[in-house]
Chain A
């Protein structure tokens, strides 16, 4: 569903992403690990079409992100690290707005159901977003993805700043989505969550995908050791 081939992105003299080959299939949760500056966010931005690659291709459901950007985005949802919504609107109104951009608006009840499905408490649905926690905002983000009926979801460090309970709840939501066949690419520093939630794990360093595992094939300690080794190498 999500596929990068020989992806290269340079910022002046720095190669942020170097000949990256990465594929996330439908129903997979791919957790991309790596130290700060490894190129994780750049990779996400390349998948989203926010950045143009120097070479290589990025496809979503077989559609080239740069050749047919709007069509690719119909199949794709994105939750940034700090998901900002319009604070003067309610969660429901934010969902109504974002889900209507580029597609037909849905009814009030349908949107309420989506928010509930995303795990937002019923009492919060019609409250202004200015009072929402990060976890609640991310649930709205998930609801936006559900409303779009996206085939793929990209998340940039979604669990940073979440308390363990919220993080756990969020992981359950992602697992639920993946079971519906959504391909999920998620960057994170949270090794535990990556192993628990992910179906595959990749470790990036200096723009290169250094290691890839199936989550079920690696124990937490092993993953930690590999990751720390990569960190040391980058120092």
Chain B
């Protein structure tokens, strides 16, 4: 009997504008979002490859120059051009390493926080510089966020589901067929569930099929466990919205009332709950403003500048073995000072940053717990995690850059402090980020 109801329901649905609207518009939206996502990811991969190629070319060039000097085929005019100098290899110009958060296989699905947070940065002896592809983003994008698959799924799909399911039973009442249905030896609930199941299968089928087809076209690999998880997540999410449609159809309300009620729930889950959660977390764990943090950074830098030579002198007293006294080049003294100051600034900033970072972490934890109140928010967060574009992962970049900077400094700074220049055969030992 179920097959029979499916068959008849399909005959009804295929004559409805709502279905054809969904069947045409939804795949186009999914296709467009995946096209943009795929372009974005390709751009990231290209940026990464380009920067890695530049790095490799730079250090290959340095080694060639150094080998030429060692053979006596070339001479160095100035200290800052000497490829054996740790400063030239670890600090100046193109020297340094880029640390990347490589796109995950599902990265094209969700832009996540990429609009706001960088996915790569450059590390030098004193510098930690998070970088962006475009320094100035499109202001419209800043306001609206990226158009991605996560947006289509989380925000727009529920609207299509509402259009497909808001009047499954109420329309029978309005058409006049309800009493004839009601007089048959089958409960209205059974009819409702079966009608809703076919709608669920159709909408879910459209989404999953479009996702697979477009993904194959745009080179997104979904044929793995993550793809399967994604399909399950999509099915659960669409089931949630269809369940709401079932609930509204169980009440003896008009189609108009159902539409208004379901749209109200859409607003509730997608706009009101996130706003309320934001209000709660910012009230319970207020984070000091960004302006305060910048002011704090400036204060630290000014204080270190003011302490100037005193700071350096006390460092020498504490680390006499790490400083070459006597007739040393001018750049040595200058850069030894700079390194001490930079290290002091970094240590003090790191300390000060905790008071800004701790409330933010507590905010994130609380928001993560409250997010379960809204299935759309939960799905959005899950998609961003799978895509690797969630706040936590992008914020981890800075930690990874710091960790790598320590490795970088441990390689170059002791040599510089001892005024030891590198040989060409040592260049292969220059640290490389494991992430890359």
A: which residues have CB within 8 A of B? 48, 50, 69-71, 73-74, 76-78, 80, 82-86, 88-89, 93, 96-98, 100-103, 105, 141, 144
Q: List 19 A-B contacts (CB under 8 A).
A: A50-B179, A50-B182, A69-B187, A73-B185, A74-B185, A78-B180, A78-B183, A82-B176, A83-B180, A84-B180, A85-B177, A88-B11, A89-B12, A100-B1, A100-B4, A100-B5, A101-B186, A101-B191, A102-B184
Cβ–Cβ contact B12 & A86, under 8 A: yes
Closest to B184 in A: A101
Query: 1/0 per position for B160-191, CB-CB distance to A under 8 A?
Result: 00000000000000011101111111110001
Could you tell me the dominant secondary structure of chain A's interface residues? mixed
Cβ–Cβ contact B185 & A71, under 8 A: yes
Cβ–Cβ contact A84 & B182, under 8 A: no
Known contacts A80-B180, A83-B180; is A88 also within 8 Å of B186 by CB? no
Cβ–Cβ contact A78 & B179, under 8 A: yes
Cβ–Cβ contact B183 & A77, under 8 A: yes
Asked if B80 lies at the interface with its beta carbon under 8 angstroms from chain A, I say: no
Cβ–Cβ contact A93 & B11, under 8 A: yes
> In whole angstroms, what is the CA distance A156 to B284 when docked?
64
Asked if B335 lies at the interface with its beta carbon under 8 angstroms from chain A, I say: no
Could you tell me the dominant secondary structure of chain B's interface residues? helix
Q: Which residues of A contact B183 (CB under 8 A)?
A: 48, 73, 76-78
Cβ–Cβ contact A102 & B185, under 8 A: yes
Cβ 8 A contact of B185, one of A80, A86, A89, A101: A101
Cβ–Cβ contact B11 & A101, under 8 A: no
Interface residues on B, range: 20 to 34
Cβ–Cβ contact B186 & A102, under 8 A: yes
Q: Which residues of B contact A73 (CB under 8 A)?
A: 183-185
Q: Which residues of A contact B12 (CB under 8 A)?
A: 86, 88-89
Cβ–Cβ contact B176 & A70, under 8 A: no
Cβ–Cβ contact B1 & A101, under 8 A: yes
Cβ 8 A contact of A84, one of B5, B176, B191: B176
> In whole angstroms, what is the CA distance A138 to B4 when docked?
23
> In whole angstroms, what is the CA distance A100 to B185 when docked?
10
Q: Which residues of A contact B11 (CB under 8 A)?
A: 88-89, 93
> In whole angstroms, what is the CA distance A144 to B183 when docked?
11
Asked if B8 lies at the interface with its beta carbon under 8 angstroms from chain A, I say: yes
Cβ 8 A contact of B187, one of A70, A78, A88: A70
For residue A124, give the distance in angstroms from its CB to the closest CB of chain B.
19
Cβ–Cβ contact A97 & B8, under 8 A: yes
Q: Which residues of B contact A100 (CB under 8 A)?
A: 1, 4-5
For residue B195, give the distance in angstroms from its CB to the closest CB of chain A.
12
Asked if B15 lies at the interface with its beta carbon under 8 angstroms from chain A, I say: yes
> In whole angstroms, what is the CA distance A50 to B5 when docked?
22
Closest to A80 in B: B179
> In whole angstroms, what is the CA distance A96 to B3 when docked?
13
> In whole angstroms, what is the CA distance A153 to B292 when docked?
81
For residue B191, give the distance in angstroms from its CB to the closest CB of chain A.
7
Cβ–Cβ contact B15 & A103, under 8 A: no
Cβ–Cβ contact A103 & B8, under 8 A: no
> In whole angstroms, what is the CA distance A105 to B177 when docked?
19
Q: Which residues of B contact A69 (CB under 8 A)?
A: 187
- 4 additional contacts (CB under 8 A) given A102-B1, A103-B185: A50-B179, A50-B182, A101-B5, A105-B1
